[in-house]
Chains A and B, each alone.
Chain A
Amino acid sequence: MDAICNWCDALLSNPIWFYLITTVLKLVLMFAVILAFVVISVWIERRVAGWIQDRPGPNRAGLPLFLLQRFGSKEKQPLKELLHFFGIPEGSCIAKLCQWLRFDREIPFFGLIQPCLDGGKLFLKQELTPSYVRKAYFIVAPMLVLGPPMVAAAVIPFASSVETAYGSISMCVANLGIGPLWVFAISGLSVYGLTLAGWASNSKYPFIGGMRATAQLISYEVAMGLSVIPLFMMFGTLNLQEIVQAQAANGWTLLPLWGEGLSPQRWALMLPLLISFLVFVTCVFAEANRTPFDMAECETDLVGGYHTEYSSMKFASFFMGEYAAMVIGSAIVVTLFLGGWSIGFGADAALAGICPWLAVCCQFAMFILKLLAFIFFFVWVRWTLPRFRWDQVMKLGWLVFLELTVANIFLTAAVLYFVK
């Protein structure tokens, strides 16, 4: 036992091994979170869509009780027996709650199993590769869509750093000095997947879908990059971890209510920052190919867009890639504008004073919460706005956002220079 402890101690004392082990752990955590969020965001999408359209959404897919004949069939009403066993009268609040939650019919999971079942279905479906496609590119394309969002997630901080006996752990996989640039560069790569899919399919509609995806990405990448420059002018750094730490100390970008955030300069900056936020969020929508900007898979004019010819798990990887892009988009918006992992109102420093690991856990939970809220916003917008027309999308990108963001940079510079 002692030998093992000593060995671990020696291993962790070596800075290279310490770095490797912590990085692998963080990687696993990040991957798990993203994959779980892909599943959860599909569920949120369908559920919220249902509620907005006055219907329940997927609420079945529980474990039906007839599978559990042993524990009592539907007729025998296992719920009643259970309530009787615990001495809860029928008609009481608890019994009614149980009925409202459909415990009397099946063991429900609120439809959460639905995405898993969808995945299983897609695995079992027939894999159809048309004879006229370019096989190699056709197979590579879905991987190119799913990969980049996962890689881009590496720089997103999900908690503050922690001091351990062996060294400090910064709670993001790669603490790069060029955080946002990395995200833009890598997430821009995912459009190659779409274009390649459209091209390799050797079919008209996928081709047009791929072309649209490219044009849209080019148009909005410019505005996206320019829109966050005011932010970097204010923070003076490109390191996402440092940006979030600054927000934790001095107020979130859009909520400067504590620390130095109460200065007149900071409040004068609110206008350019709000413009930045609006433009950036719109560009994230466009980059993630979400409604109202899902021109690349616009089913009214393009059948299924770039994934028309795909089936089974290849289609599923496009689907997952789209949702992963949405998750990463939400994460970067949350990190840049909504305070990232910071709990706010000085609670971060207070918690870290009590116990650093408690602070990290709370911050992680806060980050997840903010991420969920923003994914909800994504879905909410999707079921509110109709799709733009193609020329409107291009006009908005080149004629409105580009000018607006450039002007915004000068506005920010003026505010930084004149208001002290």
Chain B
Amino acid sequence: MAYLPLKRPKFSLLDRLYVVELVKGLGITLKHLVLSLLGKSRGKKDFNSPSGVGVCMQFPEQRWDERLPEYYRGAPVLVRGEDGRERCVSCQLCEFICPARAIKVTPGAVEPSASCQKQEKAPAEFEIDMLRCIYCGMCQEACPEQAIFLSKEYLITLTDRDRAVRNKETLYRLGGMRKGLVNKWNQYK
């Protein structure tokens, strides 16, 4: 294979003496120091950083929440359709694909009270261990029913390991309703 020898830059004597370049570097860092102390750091305006020194957001007091992008990957949750139907059909694809093995689905029969009886299964229990979850979004990718989504929830602080496991009820409560009908189980369509 042909290769191209990379031309290294030739340094002048002044560069090789190192001292001048060192002073230049010190100047750059000093400029950053002074600017951040004056609250005029570069990029502060674009960032719309509300406070203090540098371009930092003082986290607990100030939050990014409304500026989180659409593609933000937070905690995974289960969703219901517009018709109130629980979308999950307990196919367990998310459980199999989960690289961290955070998801545990226990398949069960469809409850008689459910609005749609055509599907074969429904989750009797659906648990996500938030201590294992790595927020990769593979479950969302794998789900054929658009039933599991990554929400924008990122502040998951626990006082107890046992509370880290979220059950089906919690997941549906956090997920809420998702727009857009999935009609494949509707027998009239």
Q: Does A235 count as interface, using CB distance less than 8 angstroms?
A: no
CA distance A381 to B36 in the complex (A): 18
Contact assessment for A380 and B29 in the assembled complex, using a CB-CB cutoff below 8 Å: yes
Contact assessment for A54 and B19 in the assembled complex, using a CB-CB cutoff below 8 Å: no
Number of chain A residues close to chain B: CB under 8 A = 18
Interface residues of B in 10-35 (CB under 8 A from A): 19, 22, 25-26, 28-30, 32-33, 35
Interface residues of A in 46-67 (CB under 8 A from B): 48, 50-57, 59
Q: How far is the CB of B59 from chain A (nearest CB, A)?
A: 10
Per-residue CB contact flags for chain B residues 46-71 toward chain A (1 = under 8 Å, else 0) read: 00000011111010010000000000
Q: Does B37 count as interface, using CB distance less than 8 angstroms?
A: yes
Contact assessment for B29 and A54 in the assembled complex, using a CB-CB cutoff below 8 Å: no
Q: Does B117 count as interface, using CB distance less than 8 angstroms?
A: no
Contact assessment for B37 and A51 in the assembled complex, using a CB-CB cutoff below 8 Å: yes
Chain B residues touching A, range: 20 to 34
Q: How far is the CB of B164 from chain A (nearest CB, A)?
A: 24
Q: Which residue, of A50, A52, A59, has the highest number of chain B Cβ atoms within 10 A?
A: A52
Interface residues of B in 119-156 (CB under 8 A from A): none
Q: How far is the CB of B44 from chain A (nearest CB, A)?
A: 8
Query: Among the listed A55, A100, A380, A385, which residue makes an inter-chain contact with B54, where contact means beta carbons less than 8 Å apart?
Result: A55
Contact assessment for B36 and A51 in the assembled complex, using a CB-CB cutoff below 8 Å: yes
Per-residue CB contact flags for chain A residues 135-147 toward chain B (1 = under 8 Å, else 0) read: 0000000000000
Contact assessment for A384 and B29 in the assembled complex, using a CB-CB cutoff below 8 Å: yes
Contact assessment for B25 and A384 in the assembled complex, using a CB-CB cutoff below 8 Å: yes
Contact assessment for B26 and A55 in the assembled complex, using a CB-CB cutoff below 8 Å: no
B35: A residues at CB distance < 8 A: 54
Interface residues of A in 212-263 (CB under 8 A from B): none
Q: Does B41 count as interface, using CB distance less than 8 angstroms?
A: yes
Query: Among the listed B30, B32, B43, B61, which residue makes an inter-chain contact with A53, where contact means beta carbons less than 8 Å apart?
Result: B32
Query: Among the listed B22, B28, B41, B58, which residue makes an inter-chain contact with A54, where contact means beta carbons less than 8 Å apart?
Result: B41
Contact assessment for B22 and A50 in the assembled complex, using a CB-CB cutoff below 8 Å: no
The interface of chain A, by Cβ under 8 A from chain B, is 48, 50-57, 59, 100, 105, 278, 380-381, 383-385
